[in-house]
Structure 1
Amino acid sequence: MVIDSHCHTGDRWYEPVDTLLHHMDRHGVSRAMLIQMLGQFDNGYQQDSVQRHPDRFVSVVGVDLSRADACDELERQAAQGAVGVRLRPTDRSLGDDPLAIWRAAERLGLLVSCVGNSTTFGDPAFDALVAQFPRLTIVLEHLGSNSSPDADAAAVAARQRVFGLARHAHVCIKLPGLGELIARPALMAADPFTLAAVASPVLRPAFEAFGPERLLWGSDFPVVSSREGYGQALGLCREVVRQLYPQAVDGVFGGNAQTLLARQSR
């Protein structure tokens, strides 16, 4: 079973869920996590997509933290079937308890899909926050940085510092398509063996830090269409992982996400 841990859909922005289903069916992807886009707090379309296709999708919602009732809204979304909430490392609640939304996610048994960059993920304040919630599954998006290749050695080092969060057993990380991690090859005929050599310096530290059981593949649909495309994001990435860590393929591309979702549904 292949599970895509990072997809966006919508009726006013991005592609509708039927387009995602087309790509999933074409490339043998069984299930996907719908991750609410930034700035969107109306989760109706996403939750409706799950209700229409309960065997294919789960919903990770967004909540507006400028509202005093944000924790109540998260509880309502959980009651409607949401399995997680998307937060930034710097997100804080109004009122006396700035970590109220993180506490609510832990209390409700939700996972946090965490969107940030190497600076916010690598901030000691976030490390301290993570340490406070050992029962809260936190999944770092985009391999712990921005959804673009590292521009220089300093960016590479900053991303790899983020991997220090792996010391917390409840932190996982999403492995995106290679087009998000490496620059577009000058020679488009480059085969996966060439890509493996280029991708290895980015992937190896993540695997060494988190181990193969805490990495989840995510396509970043439909943004991936402006890079290598959905099928290549799955196929090339899977081929490279097969070359570098053959024993990890089944877990990274489905088994780990399946285990995580089973744990959230208890």
Structure 2
Amino acid sequence: MLIDSHAHVSPVWYEPVETLLGQMARHGVARAVLTQMIGQVDNRYQADCVRAHPGRFASVVWIDPAAPDAPQVLASLADEGAAGVRLRPGARSPGDDPLAIWKAAQACGLPVSCVGNAEAFCAPAFAELLQAVPGLTVVLEHLGDTSKPMESEADGELRYTVLRLCRFDNVILKVPGLGELVPRASTALRDGPTFGGAAAALLEAAIAAFGAPRLMWGSDFPVVSSREGYGNALGLVRECLLDHAAPVREAILGGTARRVFWKET
């Protein structure tokens, strides 16, 4: 079962869910995790999508973590069927416990889809956070960085440094389309996209560090349409996994997301 762990839909920005469903049908993707856009605290559209297409979607919501009632809001969203919450690594709660929102996610059994950059993920404060909520699954988006290509040696070093977070059992990585990791080759439009080299090496390093059960593929739809496109985001990752055993491919391309966001084995 192919599952896209990172897609955005909206009636007012990007694309509606019907456009995503078309891409999923074309490329054989069975399910997708609807990941709320940063700053959009109205999660009703995603909830409607989940209800309208039973079994096909999971909703990862966005809330304002600085709101005094954020833990209560999150609990209500969990009761209504939310499958996760999206937070920045530096998100903190007001009041006596700055980690209240993270602890609320842990108490609700909601994984956190964590959006940030490599610098934030490598900071001591983030390691301290992970230690404070060992029962919380934290899924780092974009292989632990923003959706920008590695354009310098320093960029690559930072991405590899993020992989050291494999020492925390509660950390999982989202594997993006490889076109997100490296700039488009000058020959890509003539000869077709290929993202070997640095992108493939980083993917292999992530597999070696975390293991396939802690990796999940996500397209970043519809942003991926401005890079290699949905089909290539899936196809080129699958191509890089051809030399791996079937359980590795199955975990990265669906099994991990199914376990984390649908609580299925």
Q: Where on the TM-score scale, by shorter chain, does this alignment land: which range?
A: over 0.9
Q: Are positions 1:106 and 2:106 aligned together?
A: yes
CA RMSD of aligned residues (A): 1.6
State the alpha-carbon separation in 2 of the partners of residues 262 and 24 from structure 1: 18
Cα displacement (A) at 1:64: 1.1
SS of the residue corresponding to residue 61 of structure 1 reads strand
Residue by residue over 1:97-145, the C-alpha shift from the partner in whole angstroms, topping out at 9 and shown as x without a partner, is: 1100000000000000000001101101101100111111110000011
- 1:6–1:32: 8 Å Cα contact kept in structure 2? yes
Cα displacement (A) at 1:201: 2.5
Residue by residue over 1:54-91, the C-alpha shift from the partner in whole angstroms, topping out at 9 and shown as x without a partner, is: 21100000011232111111011101100110001100
- 1:83–1:111: 8 Å Cα contact kept in structure 2? yes
Paired position in structure 1 for 2:197: 197
Paired position in structure 2 for 1:42: 42
Gaps of 5+ in 1: none
State the alpha-carbon separation in 2 of the partners of residues 212 and 117 from structure 1: 22
Paired position in structure 2 for 1:139: 139
State the alpha-carbon separation in 2 of the partners of residues 12 and 191 from structure 1: 33
Paired position in structure 1 for 2:71: 71
Cα displacement (A) at 1:237: 1.3
- 1:195–1:240: 8 Å Cα contact kept in structure 2? no
Cα displacement (A) at 1:255: 1.3
Distance 1:190 1:206, change over 3 A: farther
- 1:241–1:249: 8 Å Cα contact kept in structure 2? yes
Paired position in structure 1 for 2:85: 85
Residue by residue over 1:26-66, the C-alpha shift from the partner in whole angstroms, topping out at 9 and shown as x without a partner, is: 10000000001001110011111111112110000001123
Gaps of 5+ in 2: none
State the alpha-carbon separation in 2 of the partners of residues 207 and 190 from structure 1: 28
State the alpha-carbon separation in 1 of the partners of residues 203 and 65 from structure 2: 34
Paired position in structure 1 for 2:129: 129
Cα displacement (A) at 1:207: 1.3
Q: Percent of pairs identical after alignment?
A: 52
| Aligned-partner residue type, residue 107 of structure 1 | A
Distance 1:13 1:191, change over 3 A: closer
Paired position in structure 2 for 1:12: 12
| Aligned-partner residue type, residue 63 of structure 2 | V
SS of the residue corresponding to residue 162 of structure 1 reads helix
| Aligned-partner residue type, residue 249 of structure 2 | V
State the alpha-carbon separation in 2 of the partners of residues 88 and 24 from structure 1: 28
SS of the residue corresponding to residue 173 of structure 1 reads strand
State the alpha-carbon separation in 1 of the partners of residues 262 and 82 from structure 2: 13
When structure 1 is superposed on structure 2, of 35-44 and 196-205 the one drifting more is 196-205
State the alpha-carbon separation in 2 of the partners of residues 199 and 142 from structure 1: 12
State the alpha-carbon separation in 2 of the partners of residues 118 and 77 from structure 1: 29
Cα displacement (A) at 1:14: 1.0
- 1:6–1:218: 8 Å Cα contact kept in structure 2? yes
State the alpha-carbon separation in 1 of the partners of residues 198 and 120 from structure 2: 26
| Aligned-partner residue type, residue 164 of structure 1 | R
Q: Are positions 1:233 and 2:233 aligned together?
A: yes
Distance 1:163 1:120, change over 3 A: same
Cα displacement (A) at 1:191: 6.2
Cα displacement (A) at 1:172: 0.4
State the alpha-carbon separation in 2 of the partners of residues 262 and 233 from structure 1: 23
| Aligned-partner residue type, residue 145 of structure 1 | D
State the alpha-carbon separation in 2 of the partners of residues 184 and 119 from structure 1: 24
- 1:3–1:254: 8 Å Cα contact kept in structure 2? yes
Paired position in structure 1 for 2:163: 163
Cα displacement (A) at 1:200: 2.5
Paired position in structure 2 for 1:211: 211
SS of the residue corresponding to residue 130 of structure 1 reads helix
Cα displacement (A) at 1:92: 0.2
SS of the residue corresponding to residue 242 of structure 1 reads coil
